[in-house]
């Protein structure tokens, strides 16, 4: 029973899913622009990026380029067997459940060491440290989990946007870590105490950074900020915050943004924040909060919370109305993990129960179970690449299987844990490397096919 209680409490965390700012701001439209200042540490500046590697397969945000857990890479080797893939490099880092993000061969990690949170930039090909930006934090988690940070940064253009456990938001230069602007969301929006610290990850829409912040008192449950200045562009709803990150899509020529807050699913217009409709959705337990980000396929959107609330799928009609397509409390009830969609099917992990957790495939439009796999992975996250799924479990095991909704084929799992548990952070894949982290280190695994040389050219293998 205690195990279930702890698992239920952790369902509030998104892996996600992340200079103390002045608290003397009265205007929600103000941001502190401090370009050229801040605690920036420049390292290894002589390591200029060579144009000899293809960096087109960036992973700039939580769950990938389109937040669908699909990699745009091709010709990636997933035949590593039970021993796991080859390690390219590893580096020591601090605590937190924030996930790696990558753009232009720069890997960004948000972590904590002592009483400082640090946004750190490594070269993704060799692990050399390029720069770091640190700021103080006093946040302490009241449960038996990490003190953060929890939110995953996002890279857009030449900027990195990162939010710490105390809701300190920073916009940094991707090139050298220079601070461009900052906001103290806790002070600016009178954020109440959360079950854990701030953990929602941002969504970038045009020139807007949209965030599920939970400023209910100021009708700022969801807010949009100017990516260039940090100024508030619009606020919407009186909902409390969750640990889910928004998901956007275009339906019938209209742009929809789906945000799963503490109180329910909000469908709104990302341009102005106008709410299209709201569906209440939350657990009855006071010790849990929504933490799984919505998944979208065609004109269907799925939200889920486990254990307890389960999953709901809504169908959006051409006239803007919506209806419940299906509901199931057990078939797929992810607590905080990523969801993947493929050809009308939904893949994900169930909540942890006494019998463990399973990785399942269900029909997106009906909720019908296709297949289920139990393993040492327990709960975890997934990445689809080529025609395979890479699975990363909270116990530190890595697995791979075919991307096939008809059956669970080709499942292979490592004999040993590759990292010390718990491993709650979602993986990232870029430049034929798989990036995994826990609260001690980040590891880059080389997924380059064996018949490709170090300089990227193929060579003939002997028979």
pLDDT in tens, 27-63: 445 566 554 334 444 443 333 333 334 445 899 999 9
Enter the DSSP assignment of 189.
T
For residue 286, what pLDDT is reported? 64
User: What is the SS3 assignment for 379?
Assistant: coil
- Residue whose token pair is 């469908």: 267
For residue 300, what pLDDT is reported? 97
For residue 38, what pLDDT is reported? 42
Distances from the Cα of 406 to the Cα of 144, 174, 224, 438, angstroms: 40, 42, 41, 33
User: What is the SS3 assignment for 8?
Assistant: helix
Beta bridge partners, 389, equal 384, 401
Tokens in use for 433? 């490397």
**C-alpha–C-alpha distance, residues 352 and 379, integer Å:** 7
For residue 167, what pLDDT is reported? 96
- Which residues, given as ranges, of the chain have pLDDT below 50? 1-28, 35-55, 453-463
Omega prior to 414 cis, within 30 of 0: no
For residue 33, what pLDDT is reported? 54
Distances from the Cα of 193 to the Cα of 165, 166, 196, angstroms: 11, 10, 8
Omega prior to 96 cis, within 30 of 0: no
Give the global pTM: 0.88
Q: How many CB atoms lie within 10 A of CB 37?
A: 12
For residue 247, what pLDDT is reported? 95
**Distance between alpha carbon 65 and the CA centroid of its chain, in Å?**
11
**C-alpha–C-alpha distance, residues 133 and 178, integer Å:** 8
Q: What is the pLDDT of residues 406-445, one digit of tens each?
A: 999 999 999 999 999 999 999 999 999 999 999 999 999 9
Per DSSP (E only), the strands in 281-423 are: 295-297, 300-305, 310-316, 322-328, 340-342, 345-349, 358-363, 369-374, 380-385, 388-393, 398-402, 412-413
Q: 228 burial class (0-12, 13-18, 19+ CB within 10 angstroms)?
A: middle
For residue 100, what pLDDT is reported? 98
């Amino acid at each position: 029973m205690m195990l279930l209680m702890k698992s239920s409490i952790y369902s509030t965390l998104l892996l996600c899913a992340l200079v103390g700012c002045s608290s003397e701001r009265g205007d929600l439209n103000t941001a502190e622009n401090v370009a050229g200042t801040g605690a920036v540490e420049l390292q290894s500046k002589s390591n200029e990026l060579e144009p000899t590697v293809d960096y087109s397969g960036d992973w700039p945000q939580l769950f990938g380029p389109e937040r669908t857990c699909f990699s745009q890479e091709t010709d990636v080797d997933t035949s590593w067997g039970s021993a796991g893939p080859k390690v390219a490099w590893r580096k020591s880092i601090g605590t937190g459940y924030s996930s790696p993000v990558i753009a232009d061969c720069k890997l960004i990690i948000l972590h904590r060491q002592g009483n400082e949170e640090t946004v750190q930039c490594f070269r993704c090909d060799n692990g050399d440290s390029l720069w770091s930006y640190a700021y103080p934090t006093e946040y302490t988690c009241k449960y038996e989990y990490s003190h953060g940070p929890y939110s995953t940064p996002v890279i857009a253009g030449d900027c990195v946007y990162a939010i710490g456990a105390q809701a300190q938001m920073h916009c940094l230069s991707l090139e050298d870590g220079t601070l461009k602007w900052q906001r103290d969301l806790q002070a600016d929006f009178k954020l109440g105490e959360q079950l854990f610290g701030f953990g929602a990850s941002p969504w970038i829409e045009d020139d807007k950074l949209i965030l599920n912040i939970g400023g209910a008192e100021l009708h700022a449950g969801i807010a949009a900020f100017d990516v260039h200045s940090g100024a508030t562009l619009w606020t919407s709803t009186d909902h409390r915050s969750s640990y889910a990150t928004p998901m956007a899509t275009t339906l019938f020529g209209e742009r929809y943004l789906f945000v799963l807050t503490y109180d329910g699913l909000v469908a709104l217009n990302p341009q102005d924040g106008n709410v299209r409709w709201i569906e209440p959705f939350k657990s009855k337990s006071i010790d849990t909060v929504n933490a799984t980000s919505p998944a979208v396929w065609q004109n269907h959107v799925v939200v889920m919370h486990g254990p307890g609330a389960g999953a709901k799928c809504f169908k959006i009609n051409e006239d803007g109305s919506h209806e419940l397509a299906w509901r199931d409390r057990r078939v797929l009830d992810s607590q905080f993990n990523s969801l993947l969609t493929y050809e009308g099917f939904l893949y994900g992990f169930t909540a942890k129960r006494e019998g463990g957790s399973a990785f399942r495939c269900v029909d997106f439009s009906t909720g019908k179970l296709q297949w289920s796999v139990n393993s040492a992975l327990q709960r975890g996250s997934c990445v689809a690449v080529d025609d395979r799924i890479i699975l990363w479990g909270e116990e530190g095991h890595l697995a791979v299987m075919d991307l096939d909704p008809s059956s669970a084929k080709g499942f292979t799992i490592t004999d040993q844990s590759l990292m010390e548990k718990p491993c709650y952070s979602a993986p990232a894949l870029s430049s034929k490397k798989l990036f995994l982290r826990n609260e001690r280190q980040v590891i880059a695994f080389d997924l380059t096919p064996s018949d490709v040389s170090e300089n990227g050219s193929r060579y003939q293998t002997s028979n």
